[in-house]
Amino acid sequence: MPHARHALTPENLHLIDTVARAGSMAAAARALGLVPSALTYRVRQIEEALNVLLFDRRARRAQLTPAGAELLRAGEHLLLELDAVAQRVRRIATGWEAQFTIAADAVISRTTLFELFEDFYATQAPTRLRLRTETLSGTLEALLTGQADLALGVFLDQTLPSDTRSEALGEVEFVFVVAPHHPLASVPEPLTPADIQPHRVVAVADSTQRGPGMSFGLLPGQDVLTVGTMEEKLLAQRRGLGCGALPRPLVQPLLDAGKLIHKPTTLPPRIYRPGYAWRAPVGASRRAAPATPGLQAPGKAMQWWLNRLAHPTTRAALLHHHA
């Protein structure tokens, strides 16, 4: 018995569609340039491979069974997908990567990032984009382990491998905030570590898969609520589940609206200076993209993203435009 996958060819789908449209094996055979017996034999082969009846042979006309109708419906999508694959392959042969993965730290504005996605899609590039949400050292780890092509929001105060390039994005001030109904809201400023330590802090977990990862703003013995994203940390603090520092651009609208309260502290100021990083061949220029396997030139998707990141307005928006 033929394998079911071998039966689902464009030629066989066209054959079944022709029979359904013609209404009889004889009429379909004439349209296909086959003798009726040859056409009947091919239809039976397809049915045997799928282990279903595609036509109701009790009817005077060649009438599709529900299974046959579903095959043609799904087959139409398969044919469209095959055409799309052929078009993508032709375009990828011109230098576009098949897939481009971006690892974005929790501090990166998703509003700006998705605006960049929209701009990228407007180029009609065949590259499929994939977004990974990472935090702290997990962002760079995704790049270095080959799980991402571009990392946004990495720490730059560390030694990078010789084949890794990086540029600064800017700086972000983290401010200590609490909900208006949190006990610390009424404590005189500036808050001291002794004021803060008895209260639960909300922290975003480092997404690294290697080692304990990084942590910031935790005092010895302090209770901690660990969450997965910056958005979850913000929501938890708005509910009064804990306190902690958040990026000023993210919380400024809530501070202005009185939904969060900024509480100055005696702790050292926390200024985060993230950057972006990508892999490049040793000896390549600072903004040269890595060569895509099988291609002689750097990938066009990488070049597009690096060109956009070269603009100061783009870099600033990735850190400060939180809508």
Q: Of residues 129 and 146, which shows the higher confidence score?
A: 129
Local structure of 70: helix, strand or coil: helix
pTM for the model stands at 0.68
Least confident range of 18-27, 97-106, 279-288, 303-312? 279-288
User: How far is Cα 63 from Cα 65, in angstroms, rounded to an integer?
Assistant: 7
Peptide bond into 183 cis (omega under 30): no
The pair of structure tokens assigned to 276 is 């972006």
99-170+273-320 and 172-272: identical CATH topology: yes
Percent of the chain with pLDDT over 70: 87
What distance in Å separates the CA atoms of residue 274 and residue 167, rounded to the nearest whole number? 9
Q: Which tokens in the block code for residue 29? A: 């055979």
Q: Where are the domains of the chain?
A: 4-92, 99-170+273-320, 172-272
Residues 277-288 have a mean pLDDT of 62
**306-320 mean pLDDT:** 96
Please give the Cα distance from 177 to 212 (Å, whole number).
26
**C-alpha span between 255 and 123 (Å, rounded):** 38
With a cut of 60, say whether residue 284 has pLDDT above it.
no
Tens digits of per-residue pLDDT, 9-53? 888 888 888 988 888 888 989 988 999 899 989 999 988 988 999
Could you read off the pLDDT of 215-254 as tens digits, one per residue?
A: 666 889 999 999 988 899 999 999 999 999 999 999 999 9
Residues whose CB falls within 8 Å of the CB of residue 200, separated by 6 or more in sequence, listed in order: 222, 223, 224, 225, 241, 242, 243
CATH number for 4-92 (one of 2.170.150.70, 1.10.10.10, 3.40.50.720, 3.30.470.30): it is 1.10.10.10
CA atoms of 205 and 223, how far apart (whole Å): 14
Query: Does the domain at residues 172-272 carry the CATH identifier 1.20.120.450?
Result: no
The class that CATH gives domain 99-170+273-320 is alpha beta
